[in-house]
Amino acid sequence: MKASATHARRAPEMVDISDETSRKYWSRRLKVSEETLKSAVRAIHQLEFSKLEAYLKNIRFLSRLKGSSEMGGH
């Protein structure tokens, strides 16, 4: 058996927002409010942790850019 065949691919981590306890866990893990978490899920139509994390990081980055450009008067 080849080495590559022995490595099983892990299933992606899925975020559960269906109940309050799960929403609290995932919002803490992603460092966002529960409302922001729900908005992110609605925006990208995804429940995969890595995709939500990437989306939220991009939103934070863009928010910082916008804030710095407003401060600079551009």
Query: pLDDT 10s per residue in the chain (74 long)?
Result: 555 556 678 999 999 999 999 999 999 999 999 999 999 999 999 999 999 999 999 999 999 998 887 766 55
**pLDDT value for 4:** 55
Q: Please give the model's pTM, rounded to 2 decimal places.
A: 0.77
Q: Is 2 helix (H, G, I), strand (E, B) or coil?
A: coil
**pLDDT value for 21:** 97
Q: What number of helices (H) and strands (E) belong to the chain?
A: 4, 0
The span from the first CA to the last CA of the chain, in angstroms, equals: 60
CA 55 to chain CA mean position, Å: 5
Instruction: Please tell me the distance from the alpha carbon of residue 39 to that of residue 28, in angstroms, as a whole number.
Output: 15
